[in-house]
Amino acid sequence: MGRPPCCHKVGIKKGPWTPEEDIILVSYIQEHGPGNWRSVPTNTGLLRCSKSCRLRWTNYLRPGIKRGNFTPHEEGMIIHLQALLGNKWAAIASYLPQRTDNDIKNYWNTHLKKKIKRCQSGSDPQITSASSSTTTYQIVSESFCDNGKHKNASAAQKLNQNSSVYASSAENISRLLEGWMRSSPMTNVNNSPNGGSKSGARGNSVATISVKCYRPVVQDDQQGGDSNIISKDEIESIFSFDNLNGLAWKKSSCDSTRKDSESSGFEEKIMTGDHVHEQKPKLENNPPLSFLENWLFDETAGQVEGVIEIPSIF
């Protein structure tokens, strides 16, 4: 008989996480960074096994996770990649950096598998259009693109370890960590293989986050590059910029209360075709716990969309 699973230990809690537990975990990771999961339950007092803490972080609390409906393009990519790679969810997820492997796996099992079945039986033409769609979204990180064409998943995964790319979403409570990420001494955003559009410095709490907004591009479009970057005007029609606090708010969902009272404090560059909208950092301390709590309990918080490159520590 082998070693019993860690979760079989007496006193280890299982099941859904409470907001309080989330706060404890996020606060701890905010201070120590992710990793060394073994010590997390001990140091936080959480009655969870290390594995559960890691999963909660990677699948739910980690910054940049996009939740909610999958777009037809995402569907198409998943279908193509699944056909190409099989059930290698982590590899597939590396092409959809906003989504977790668990999310993709669930979506495949609950939606796409059935859809494909229906399609094969000829009762659902939808999937055909999704899978044969000629448009795709340009992936921001050139680090795992080869002129817009992917080499292979493992290469993408490897490179992705060096330069993680996530899309920001306020649905994800870890959005609250952005201020910390951008000011954390652990931050190292200068390790992208291609140098990219970002700059930063290790140890002096300065990090530059690049935000590129791309329009969908036609797969065969050889132009690629910056021609597909959404213009400054378009961005400004979608987002409001708070230069004072270094925040970008999606206009449609902008919450003036939050905007005024809670600045996460970060430096942010909005890269456009011919213009860099730069905002200076605020380098104060980590967001206070009350801020974290607000995010945890505020499901309707305003949201910034777009793709944000964040440090490789996640």
Partner DNA sequence: AATGGCTTCAACCGCAACCCT
Partner DNA sequence: TAGGGTTGCGGTTGAAGCCAT
- Dihedral sign, Cα of residue 307, residue 277, residue 288, residue 38: positive
**Smallest distance, Å, CB 243 to DNA?**
35
Among 28, 56, 75, 235, binds DNA (CB under 7 A): 56
Query: Do residues 250 and 303 make contact, with C-beta atoms less than 8 angstroms apart?
Result: yes
Site for DNA in 286-305 (CB under 7 A): none
Count Cα atoms within 13 angstroms, Cβ side, for 268: 24
**Site pattern 144..183 for DNA (x: CB under 7 A):** -------------x--------------------------
Among 111, 232, 250, 277, binds DNA (CB under 7 A): 111
- Does residue 9 touch DNA according to CB under 7 A? no
Alpha helices for the chain (secondary structure H): 19-32, 39-44, 50-56, 72-85, 89-93, 101-107, 113-120, 126-131, 153-162, 178-183, 232-238, 256-261, 289-297
Among 32, 107, 135, 217, binds DNA (CB under 7 A): 107
- First-to-last alpha carbon distance for the chain, in angstroms, is 35
Comparison of 94 and 131: residue with beta carbon closer to DNA: 94
Amino acid residing at 143: S
**Smallest distance, Å, CB 188 to DNA?**
17
Tell me if residue 50 falls in helix, strand or coil. Answer: helix
User: Helices 289-297 and 19-32 meet at what angle, rounded to 10?
Assistant: 140
Among 27, 32, 33, 101, binds DNA (CB under 7 A): 101
Comparison of 52 and 279: residue with beta carbon closer to DNA: 52
Q: How many chain residues bind DNA (CB under 7 A)?
A: 41
Query: Do residues 74 and 99 make contact, with C-beta atoms less than 8 angstroms apart?
Result: yes
Residue reference for tokens 């996020």: 26
**Smallest distance, Å, CB 107 to DNA?**
6
Comparison of 91 and 140: residue with beta carbon closer to DNA: 91
Give the integer Cα–Cα distance in Å for 68 and 79.
Answer: 18
**Smallest distance, Å, CB 146 to DNA?**
21
**Smallest distance, Å, CB 238 to DNA?**
25
Amino acid residing at 270: I
- Does residue 109 touch DNA according to CB under 7 A? yes
- Phi, psi (degrees; rounded to nearest 5) at 25: -65, -45
Residues that bind DNA (CB under 7 A): 2, 5, 7-8, 13-17, 35-38, 48-52, 54-56, 58-60, 67, 87-91, 101-103, 105-107, 109-111, 114, 157
